[in-house]
Structure 1
């Protein structure tokens, strides 16, 4: 096969988004022109070889300069600045941005390349905490993208504008701009790197304000987008994190942990430390809910090692482990130093829980009121559900069952709509407590028993133990009746499939019950669980 045929095959692989093949085939072709060098750099980046990407872009820059194509050289310099800044080489990235600006000095004022360089300016303003400057530049990027009919630039401008609006408290308006940017992604109008960036920016924004409906829909779309590209490495870590977040919402904790672990491996391999820390923190939150406190603490410590502060999850862990003063001090410090409604909306629910548990009723009431106000302004159902739950929690702590009951019911209904079983069960506990305070013991028992079943099914150990106390139950080893049945069948030598057939369950449900048994008995295996059960007469 000749050089021309090799090049055509490489270009075909690029168009088919087979990044590994396109990279391998383009890398062996000598004397590539600027267009093919940009393809080589893009394919190398998307196949996970950042060094090869930088080398290709540098070659492309030099070819463009030698050929007198200044605007093309500016494009290469822009991409070099973008890739290097993502790698954390901020000073080198700034040098390429400055070189591009110098090249534009003798060019007409209204060229689209100026819009791309404004993207670097936008993030520099954010790093300098110059919010007005960032807002101004975001609007310029969008306007240039529209005027030049440049889809990548327009979408990036809309994302920048949308995020700045959200951080200014205008969440519905900001999300609307992000939706507009996503239209171009869904229509296939964007180049792959910009499309991936827009996807991740949208989902991250939704998670920040608990807009789980949008987050779930776009996470599914991002998964399809990633799966449709052979050899894709960037964005797959973010995709795994987002899938884990949705699985956690659905109460599928074991599967969520698998996704977070997958994300950690991909981030750590690519050197994105802070992102790996975020994934570890998310894993710690799931382990805390499951009652695996030592493992949760280990995840939070690893997150800190990656440079990510795992709060407020760590404060909730301290509270669960009896370190209430430390938890209270942490949330007060976080509240004092956290500005902006979006950032505070993620902190306030945990702060309310800690402040209620530590007897700081006035501070808890203030935090719950602030959360309600923010939720009403943002309009996101997840945040409204969390605000209703916190309002009910504060009222219940004050002994005001009449005020707690409608808020708890609203939280239960909203979480049910979002298909979030763990959160539904937490709201049901507050409903049951309110019924009991109002003298309706039968209704309280029914509500608490239903919450107990949900906690047991999803493996939320702390929640299950709380409800068992409220119901006056002390199950042997903390196991539910169903878990005892599973353990008895394990002891009889049955496989998961055989247990599933006998109990009319799915293999997946049996595996979840076994995982819960291991956590509750603090054992590592089936053999150890059976030994524990025999030693403690659980069979």
Structure 2
């Protein structure tokens, strides 16, 4: 009796799927299917292959056929699993209504057939759905459901469901404030992933994305780097894999940005914009805007921030800092003061306050800048145990803010102490950009104290870092005085009155103090500063101070 041609083709599909050759596996399954309809088990493997290749519509179609085949053969357990993956696939596309409908179908099959092991799938899905709610009660419910799912999945070695459930449990604990316990739960999930115990590659991708996101949320940069490297290695072993969905690319871009790999960060952010669903492009748009702003592509940054805003992601503080870099300090200050009143959640303020301090210091509102720095310092005190990852990052932010305020206020000696510690803290965290910026401000304070050699050392170190990163706006704002020698006086494009204003800015005076000194109105002083910024192509009082020292105006 002749063997149907579909039989060896289906066997090839199964072998290629196990080898991670998903394109060829899908081709083999589809050729076999064109001859003789595939059974549900092979349709599931074909659906997984399509999903991993980024062909979500095809995967949903194949999952649906598998579900119907399992129902037709009275295989309730397999039908329940197909329903779970249909819910998962629709949820990944942002189609919540269909995802919930398939979740209800899963529940009906589990209850009607009195399934035991598959109940873990049901509980895991319900736990994931509860996490979507901001209600703390729902977060606690997600934790309970996920732990119950783990208890059912573990004895029967259902590692897919166990990993999904541990991820949900870990996130629930993080949201409830149990950071250490939550990260430990996520580590347990990743131990299963990295030991090769997971059956479905999709689960591996979801796990890597989830743990990187959680590490960033917890401000555990070392952990984020570790898992980003592991995820990159895993993706490299599967070259056919469509990069694991846009949000994961955003997180990888953020890690690369912090590490100083700005070209890699820009590539990941641009790819994320293409991969994310339209409703979720705000995350990628904002990250893309940040990379363009930092590298001096201001027009592209503006477009990216607008994209983020259109998709529901607030474009600040990035847009606010863009205005400062463009020399529009007054516009930046208006945004900063508005957001200071609007933003109330701790996570929002933690992101916003460093930029707020920078902008307020730039426009000479020392009282506001000092208040912002004090709030950052209070956050640092509450950031967790001394020596922990979150505490280290919070301390670096607090030291930088304090140094920035003191420098703007003309308190150079006090600023030096904070900025020196800040630059060392950023160095220990492996974050070259904020370290270089702290060095620049430290160098300006040294110059104000008359120590030109120390100033040159700091500025030269910052210059090298900015050149490696491609931080063109920061390079352009650096003093030209290098290697311990102040440049000879040269003609400046300022009026006599503007030179007086610059000298007083360099002395640390606020706009009000300058107005009193020169017997002018604060509005007139502000107008002089705007003209100075425009003529010199700078955006802050710190840059004006550097210009004054660089051109021997003080």
- What's the TM-score once normalised by structure 2's chain length? 0.77
CA distance in 2 between counterparts of 1:473 and 1:163 reads: 55
Mapped pair 1:17 → 2:20: yes
Q: What is the alpha-carbon distance in structure 1 between the residues aligned to residue 127 and residue 488 of structure 2?
A: 58
1:485-534, Cα deviation, whole Å (9 max, x unpaired): xxxxxxxxxxxxxxxxxxxxxxxxxxxxxxxxxxxx9xxxxxxxxxxxxx
Matched, 1:158 2:133: no
| Counterpart position of 1:379 | 389
Q: Which residue of 1 aligns with 2:289?
A: 284
Question: What is the match of residue 113 of structure 1?
Answer: 118
Change (3 A) 1:458 1:54: closer
Q: Distance in 2 between matches of 1:333 and 1:205?
A: 30
Structure 2: gaps (5+ residues): 491-536, 538-554
In structure 2, how many angstroms separate the alpha carbons of the residues matched to 1:71 and 1:341?
45
Q: Which moved more, 1:305-314 or 1:333-342?
A: 333-342
Match of 2:263 among 236, 254, 258: 254
Pick from 166, 171, 179 the counterpart of residue 171 of structure 1. Answer: 179
Paired with 2:289 and 2:419, the residues of 1 have a C-alpha distance of: 27
Report the more deviating stretch, 398-407 or 71-80: 398-407
Residue ranges of structure 1 left out of the alignment (5+ in a row) = 477-520, 522-539
Do the aligned partners of residues 264 and 432 (structure 1) sit closer, same or farther apart at CA in structure 2, a change above 3 Å counting?
Answer: same
Distance 2:244 2:50 in 1: 14
CA drift at 1:240: 4.3
Question: 1:79-132 CA deviation, whole Å, 9 max, x = no partner?
Answer: 111111211221122111122222233344x82333323344334334332222
C-alpha distance 333-181 of structure 1, shift in aligned 2 (>3 A): farther
- Partner of residue 423 from structure 2, selected from 405, 412, 424: 412
Q: Per the alignment, do residues 35 and 295 of structure 1 end up closer, same or farther by CA in structure 2, a change over 3 Å counting?
A: same
Q: What SS is found at the alignment partner of 2:479?
A: helix
Q: How does 1:492-531 map to 2 (within 5 A)?
A: none
Aligned-partner Cα distance in 1 for 2:173–2:353: 20
Task: Please state how far the C-alpha of 1:75 moved relative to its aligned partner.
Answer: 1.6
Decide whether aligned partners of structure 1 residues 140 and 368 sit closer, same or farther in structure 2, where only a CA change above 3 A counts.
Answer: same
Measure, in 2, the Cα distance between the counterparts of 1:328 and 1:166.
Answer: 34
> Structure 1 residues 18-27 or 416-425, which shifts more?
416-425
Residue 74 of structure 2 corresponds to residue 65 of structure 1: no
Deviates more, 1:445-454 or 1:7-16: 445-454
CA distance in 2, matches of 1:35, 1:133: 35
Written as runs of structure 1 = structure 2, the 5 A alignment for 1:228-267 is 228-235=237-244, 237-238=246-247, 240-267=249-276
Counterparts of 1:85-124 in structure 2 under 5 Å? 85-108=91-114, 111-124=116-129
In structure 2, C-alpha distance between the alignment counterparts of 1:57 and 1:333, rounded to whole Å: 50
CA contact (8 A) 1:408 1:430 kept: yes
TM-superposed deviation, 1:439: 4.7
8 Å CA contact 1:125–1:131 kept in 2: the answer is no
RMSD across aligned C-alpha pairs, in angstroms? Answer: 3.0
CA contact (8 A) 2:400 2:438 kept: yes
1:347 is the counterpart of 2:352 = yes
- Greater mean alpha carbon deviation, residues 403-412 or residues 182-191: 403-412
Contact 2:373–2:405 (Cα < 8 Å) also in 1: yes
Equivalent of residue 201 in structure 1, options 200, 210, 218: 210
CA–CA separation in structure 1 for the residues paired with 2:350 and 2:175: 11
Does 1:316 pair with 2:326? Answer: no
8 A contact 1:208–1:342 mirrored in 2:
no
